[in-house]
Amino acid sequence: MNKSSMTNGIATSAIKSNVEVTHLSRNGLILLVGDKEYYLSYEKFPWFRRATVDDVFNVQLLGKNRIRWDALDVDLNLSIITNPEAYPLVAE
């Protein structure tokens, strides 16, 4: 293995995403970040209600706590996900 494909001694191909949507339902979705699950209800996170499955599953972790859905133009951080009442929606 060449040196450029190594990161701290781990092959970059072995590094997997630290975020994924693991479940969709009629009422919301479950997001796995690292080893912790978060439930995002459509009532509190309406951007996902009418999104396509592909768009919801296309999620990235940017930094330690910023979650991004490019196709939906949605950025959330873990503090918003864990305490949505502290961040009222300005627009839907």
Tens-digit pLDDT profile for residues 23-63: 999 999 999 999 999 999 999 999 999 999 999 999 999 99
pLDDT digits (tens, 9 = 90+) for 54-79: 999 999 999 999 999 999 999 999 99
Helices (H), 2-91: 53-57, 78-82
For residue 35, the 8-state DSSP code is T
Of the two residues 3 and 26, the one the predictor is more confident about is: 26
User: Does the pLDDT at position 91 exceed 80?
Assistant: no
pTM of the model: 0.75
